[in-house]
Structure 1
Amino acid sequence: MKHPQSVKDVVNAGLCIGCGLCEALAPRRWKMAYTDAGRLRPALVGPGSDAEILKACPGAVAVPNRETAKNLDPIWGHYHRMEEAWAGDPESRYRAATGGVLTALASHLLHTDKAKFILHCAADPDAPMRTKWCISETPSQLVSRAGSRYGPSDTLAGLEIALARNEPFAIIAKPCDAGAVRARAKIDQRLNQNLVALLALVCGGASDLGKSTAVLDEYELAEDELTLFRYRGYGNPGPTRIETRDGRSFEKNYPEMWADESGWRIQSRCKVCPDALGEAADIAAADIWPGAVPEGEDDGFNGVITRTSAGEALYQSACRAGDLLTGAAITPREFDAYQPHQVNKKHALAARLRGMNSAGSVIYAHDQALRIAELDRRNRNEEIGTCDRVRMGRFFEEVQTFSEGETENEQ
């Protein structure tokens, strides 16, 4: 199988997820910008080499964390613990996505002084439908920025700025971002010295802006009218809420927003994701709705998977402090029932990658520890369907070329 030899190869093959790493590592060559399709992608702004980027780009390489935990499940990978948990702080639990576990863990790191800041993403205050990377230095900042962001996010565009501070910090990110950080840590010792925790959500896929703009179209709104676009939170799962400059507000409950899967606008890289389960992270947090469908509003509960010894130690510390409260243990097969689409994807992944290869596409290199071959069910329909979609150009994306000033205006 062929692997990408440039960032352009990654984008052209539909393997880019817009994580922002290329901008962090080569800011004079790549700047993140939105495409006409509503995806965050690197735009070419200058000459240079992609060699360092490709060693960690999640469209070029996929790795889990480097530890072997005490438990191994063929679907869910290595773990120390699977358990129900939620934020001990009622406001965090209410405002954050689901049970607020990632917010609570990051807040615990800050108020115990184990981390000086958290690199994560939040709603862009100037364009609230969109998401941008940010740094939070206090628990109150974290809580004010909490909640799911379903559109494109480029959290790793802030990685070099975070590392330049030379202080202990944590990252909250998507699983693909976490994999990029683990791969980068093999090269950049600053990560091994200062990154105290890598926290990730179990991810159902990242939509492009088309999902959000479709909601605006339904209400006959323009993006520049918005003061708020909150995808979830303020309850579990909480409504999608829109507020405008002239005082109007609109809400959709979770089934209204997400029942029609054909309208999710999930990006191509997500459909061949080798690690949506956060195996690169220290701790991963998931929704735990039976059949992946919420039965209504509740107080908020996460399923937590501690993946590394550092993650397990952080989890126990947060529980002792009361920053996390815990419920029942969860088995891998119970997680299967909560996240059936993740199980299906794991079994289909090898066939989808063969389909891309058959169509002549490049694919990412992946670590055997992700068990892609072991989970292969040899599904010919998946293989043929993916091959056909690649040949029809469904995965193809063009690389934008801008001057630096033009790129800034695009954002």
Structure 2
Amino acid sequence: MNLLEEVIDQDVCAGCGLCASISDKIEMKLSKEGFLRPDFLPNSISDDTLEDISKFCPGIIVKHDLNYDVSNVSDNVWGPYFNISSGFATKKDVRYNGSSGGVLTALSVFLLETKEVDCIVHVGAGTKLPYLNETKVSFTTEDVLSNSGSRYAPSSPLEVIKSLLEDNLIFAVVAKPCDISAIRRYLNVKSEFKKNIKYLFSFMCAGVPSIEGTKETIKKLNVDINNVKTLKYRGEGWPGFFKVVDKNSKEYKMSYNESWGGILNKHLQFRCKICIDGTGEFADITCADAWDEAKGGYPSFQEKEGQSLIIERTSKGVELINKAIKGGYIIKNKPFNLRDIDKIQPYQLTRKQNIISRKMALKMLGYNLPNYNLRSLLSLTVNQSPQKIAKNFVGMFLRKLKQKKHD
């Protein structure tokens, strides 16, 4: 079994698509569970290609051992940073239609309109089947805006990287943290492409739901999936609604709390449950929801004007934010205290606190991937109560043991 086969066998593929980009022997396809996975014939991939994949695949390795202009100040939970603040897009339509405060959309528009890049790689609704995701390469502001907003379904945005590099295009990538980790490591090996892949943007990610989660949400709205004309998971406000428009132009809505909290997050791929980086630590800039804190220390999902949490991680990211502010594309508000982020993004904190316990359980069952540097997370784990550590260890052990017996 080669390393890529092991990634799939151990169920730690993130579905980024970079392996399919560098090898014409690999194609990303939806699995029977509803996740995007590399599909290839046995023994069809060369040893040299497999060696390249082993250096960047987020199912194999996610580690801060790379040399680039990232800040040397780092938090065990939120990763490296120069500045952390809240902010929003100055244009009302960008702020309204984008996720949170629309900052990543505004930065993408800024890069295109100032001709710093030729195009933006990101994800939007499928052209033929709007409940599926599709990798988009946007060359205009209109293209970016028409594909703004979060997409809580499988995506493989890196599958187009090779073709863009072959065309010698200069571009920015907006993608999940695991995708950004992969492309950052790829650039560490293929440094000649750094001039083409100019910026890496990420967003905080709580996990990738199977497309079955989307289908269940559509069904909950009593909509025939074959009658879906458009589908938005969020946007048009903050946090916005899961909204389906059918082919008769009738609208159906479900709140973010109901759609994500009640259905979609029940369908997460396994890799996301042991993810060391849901906060986009390898990006130049990471954005997230700068939620207001509600009673009990949890975020409030009450509809209001969007606010983005902005984490500037590299000097290049700092410079871009400053240029976008000067150009009138975004506004920064107050700086954010790290421990305040713990309160408005509690899932990210909890997952990192539990990773070591879960990895130990998997190790006992013979699961070896991915390769993380867990030393920085040790203090988060030991500060947990023995009961929580045991609960996560036993829960993961029993779930995977049951799956092994079923397989």
Alignment TM-score > 0.5, same fold: yes
Q: How does 1:345-384 map to 2 (within 5 A)?
A: 345-367=351-373, 371-377=376-382, 379-384=389-394
User: Which whole-Å CA distance do the structure 1 matches of 2:105 and 2:231 have between them?
Assistant: 19
Q: Which residue of 1 aligns with 2:339?
A: 333
User: Which whole-Å CA distance do the structure 2 matches of 1:194 and 1:263 have between them?
Assistant: 35
- The answer to whether the Cα contact below 8 Å between 2:219 and 2:225 also exists between their aligned partners in 1 is no
- Matched residue SS, 1:204: coil
Cα 1:85–1:151 change in 2 (3 A) is: same
User: Which structure 2 segments of 5+ residues have no match?
Assistant: none
Residue 305 in 1 paired to residue 301 in 2?
A: no
What TM-score, normalized by structure 1, do the two folds share?
0.90
User: Which whole-Å CA distance do the structure 1 matches of 2:57 and 2:265 have between them?
Assistant: 28
Residue 17 in 1 paired to residue 2 in 2?
A: no
Higher relative contact order (CA 8 A, sep 6+): 1
Q: Which residue of 2 aligns with 1:131?
A: 133
Q: How far is 1:54 from its partner?
A: 2.0
What TM-score, normalized by structure 2, do the two folds share?
0.91
- Per-residue displacement from partner, 1:157-182 (whole Å, max 9, x unpaired)? 11112222213210000000000011
Q: Which residue of 2 aligns with 1:39?
A: 35
- The answer to whether the Cα contact below 8 Å between 1:108 and 1:323 also exists between their aligned partners in 2 is yes
Q: How far is 1:202 from its partner?
A: 0.9
Q: How far is 1:223 from its partner?
A: 2.6
User: Which structure 1 segments of 5+ residues have no match?
Assistant: 398-411
Q: Which residue of 2 aligns with 1:406?
A: none
- Matched residue SS, 2:287: strand
- The answer to whether the Cα contact below 8 Å between 1:226 and 1:242 also exists between their aligned partners in 2 is yes
Q: How far is 1:293 from its partner?
A: 3.5
- The answer to whether the Cα contact below 8 Å between 2:82 and 2:318 also exists between their aligned partners in 1 is yes
User: Which whole-Å CA distance do the structure 1 matches of 2:228 and 2:367 have between them?
Assistant: 40
Residue 283 in 1 paired to residue 305 in 2?
A: no
User: Which whole-Å CA distance do the structure 2 matches of 1:237 and 1:376 have between them?
Assistant: 31
User: Which whole-Å CA distance do the structure 2 matches of 1:246 and 1:395 have between them?
Assistant: 47
- Per-residue displacement from partner, 1:287-324 (whole Å, max 9, x unpaired)? 12225543411110011000000011111111111101
Cα 1:365–1:240 change in 2 (3 A) is: same
User: Which whole-Å CA distance do the structure 2 matches of 1:128 and 1:229 have between them?
Assistant: 6
Residue 81 in 1 paired to residue 87 in 2?
A: no
- The answer to whether the Cα contact below 8 Å between 2:83 and 2:312 also exists between their aligned partners in 1 is yes
Q: How far is 1:262 from its partner?
A: 8.2
Q: How far is 1:384 from its partner?
A: 2.4
User: Which whole-Å CA distance do the structure 2 matches of 1:229 and 1:261 have between them?
Assistant: 16
Q: How far is 1:245 from its partner?
A: 1.6
Q: How far is 1:244 from its partner?
A: 1.5
Q: Which residue of 2 aligns with 1:6?
A: 3
- The answer to whether the Cα contact below 8 Å between 1:236 and 1:299 also exists between their aligned partners in 2 is yes
- Per-residue displacement from partner, 1:248-305 (whole Å, max 9, x unpaired)? 3211122222332685311111111111111100000011222554341111001100
- Per-residue displacement from partner, 1:193-240 (whole Å, max 9, x unpaired)? 212110000111111112111122224433322111110001111111
Cα 1:8–1:331 change in 2 (3 A) is: same
Cα 1:207–1:313 change in 2 (3 A) is: same
User: Which whole-Å CA distance do the structure 2 matches of 1:182 and 1:67 have between them?
Assistant: 12
Q: Which residue of 1 aligns with 2:51?
A: 51
User: Which whole-Å CA distance do the structure 2 matches of 1:188 and 1:80 have between them?
Assistant: 26
Identity of aligned residues (%): 28
Aligned length: 392
User: Which whole-Å CA distance do the structure 2 matches of 1:221 and 1:360 have between them?
Assistant: 43
Cα 1:133–1:78 change in 2 (3 A) is: same
Task: Specify the code of the residue in structure 2 equivalent to 1:321.
Answer: G
